[in-house]
Structure 1
Amino acid sequence: MTGRAEHPAHPGGIEVAIVSGLSGAGRSTAAKVLEDLGWFVVDNLPPELIETMVDLGARSSGQVTRIAVVMDVRSRAFTHDLGAVIKELDARGHRPRVLFLDASDAVLIRRFEANRRSHPLQGDGRLSDGIRAERELLAPLHDQADLVVDTSARSVHQLRAAIEAAFGDAAVDVGHSVTVVSFGYKHGLPPDADLVVDMRFLPNPHWIPELREHDGREDVVRDYVLSQEGAEEFLDRYLELLRLVGAGYRREGKRYLTVAVGCTGGKHRSVAVAEELARRMSGEDGVSVTVSHRDVGRE
């Protein structure tokens, strides 16, 4: 590979999204969202042709400014070649990012069975064997991804919102994209969380009959949760911690942060606090914030 001196940066550069992940985890949905956002989407372009495609875009007089390349295990060599390609694109003044779509084995199996499809690596073996083989093949790409989105508990609308926050027009001008997700510990930890915080130190509205059927998005629950001793102090201190962590992530080139807020069932305390954290962070300069509630309605 040649260095930066031989490849001066293109004015403005090209936004490059390399979209990969496990079969059944949402690659096709991600590609459609990017297309709707105005990205030029190419399916399974060989790694050695990505630079050529991006250079053509750079010479298009501004007609093509965002290119998304969707890649899967059909391009088996790409996990070995992609690191060099990304480094070269960066050296040429472009802005490459890797989006990896993930999901649990159990969820992937359910999705394949619901669609009556076989896994591309299954062969004569079991569906779980194909998923395991693909996960091993894609592990290096998962590890170097800028953004990993676990779709196990996300609806199509929630996946769209996450991609729009990271790759839409609003994301271009921000320094950091933060997703705040509430969850219930009884349903398991969100596997794509960078930070996890536990709200079970606050009284549980579940035990108050007039609050039980409401959730933390409603004023009656939110006001109760946020008025409890320690809630306001927690929010102030945790926001300071998030500023510190966010600044460090940006210095390390990590633009995406997923903050998980948990309580027992994911309905009251975690939801109210997640909403309030998102509201406060939305006022921070250079930060794009989305909030989702994974387990509301699961009880």
Structure 2
Amino acid sequence: MTSDFTTSDTTPSQQDRLALTEAPMVIVSGMSGAGRTTTANVLEDLGWLVVDNLPPQLLANLADLRDAALDENPEAAHQHVAVVVDVRSRGWFKQLDGAIEAARHRGQRPSLVFLDATDEALVRRFESVRRPHPLQGRGRLLDGIQLERERLIDLRSTADVVIDTSGLNVHQLSAKLSSLFAGDQRAALRIAVMSFGFKYGLPLDADVVFDMRFLPNPFWVPELRALTGRDQPVAEFVMRQEGATEFLDRATDLLATMVSGYVREERRYVTVAVGCTGGKHRSVATADALSARLGRTERIDTFVVHRDLGRE
């Protein structure tokens, strides 16, 4: 997830990899129904200039406008620009790769955020709003989703950040995006610690996955069953189990080593997923504890997302 939109036979240098908040322009794309509108709304709320559904051929024009504004008013450098580009532009969308490549040759290096979700999640969202998929035509909803996924596979592989929104509601996605784009600017790395339930599937955007099912399940303790890992009795139960503290110690040390490497490679955003059976007890308590430990490290900004909490 670290690319400067170079072609497949070119390896981007570390100097070419920009933080999202430092990029001259951020392109937001991805699957229809995966959260592009929410992303645009969050960026607007953060003070970004957001252009929705821009034909790719106009990316260079927008970049030129931004450069002209900088010449006239240097304070405009604080005005971040985001562009939402997707298959709604139909045949024009095919020109996106060329437009990005042209921007690269002009010295403008946009960053790409790709929103993704499982087919099941996308079908559920489209059915809830009763709207057809833009590529569905006369076929089934799933046909449109699969066609779009095929068309976007190469674009996804070049993204700086891929965000899986399958198990996130609007508020959780907004919190994740806010941390990504408006976190502590002094932070060298932002880490999302996500709890999840294995029975609901692995998070697609997880960089590191820990499995907490080696600990006894509070679900089988009658007085704890209705509580969650955010409740003190459950958190205390989980942390006093044999191996729990040792796991936190070793996981923190392991991630500290990885963080150093991520910073050297100029990775700016990492998702650490912590799972248990249902994503309610063990993973939630552990994710909170792990995030608290990582948050003590200088120049690391952490936040927690409980993907499946309340889903049962």
- Aligned partner of residue 123 in structure 1, secondary structure: coil
Please list the CA deviations of residues 141-190 of structure 1 after superposition, one character each: whole Å capped at 9, or x if unmatched.
1111111111111010011011101111x253322111111111122211
Shift of 1:14: 5.4
CA contact (8 A) 1:47 1:85 kept: no
Q: What is the match of residue 94 of structure 2?
A: 77
Gaps of 5+ in 1: 2-11
Matched, 1:38 2:47: yes
Shift of 1:46: 3.4
CA contact (8 A) 1:196 1:259 kept: yes
Q: What is the match of residue 286 of structure 1?
A: 299
Matched, 1:223 2:251: no
- Aligned partner of residue 259 in structure 1, secondary structure: strand
- Aligned partner of residue 202 in structure 2, secondary structure: coil
Q: What is the match of residue 104 of structure 2?
A: 87
Distance change >3 Å, CA 82–CA 274, structure 1 → 2: farther
Shift of 1:45: 2.7
Q: How many residues align?
A: 285
Gaps of 5+ in 2: 1-5, 7-20
Q: What is the match of residue 244 of structure 1?
A: 257
Moved more, 244-253 or 159-168: 244-253
What code does the residue aligned with 2:80 have? R
Moved more, 251-260 or 128-137: 251-260
- Aligned partner of residue 275 in structure 1, secondary structure: helix
Matched, 1:106 2:120: yes
Distance change >3 Å, CA 13–CA 145, structure 1 → 2: closer
Q: What is the match of residue 146 of structure 1?
A: 160
Matched, 1:191 2:204: yes
Shift of 1:82: 4.9
Moved more, 67-76 or 13-22: 13-22
CA contact (8 A) 1:150 1:192 kept: yes
Q: What is the match of residue 129 of structure 1?
A: 143
Q: What is the match of residue 266 of structure 2?
A: 253
Q: What is the match of residue 295 of structure 1?
A: 308
Please list the CA deviations of residues 237-262 of structure 1 after superposition, one character each: whole Å capped at 9, or x if unmatched.
11121122222233333211111101
CA contact (8 A) 1:180 1:290 kept: yes
Matched, 1:272 2:281: no
What code does the residue aligned with 1:84 have? E
Output the TM-score relative to the length of structure 1.
0.88
Q: What is the match of residue 192 of structure 2?
A: 179
CA contact (8 A) 2:60 2:99 kept: no
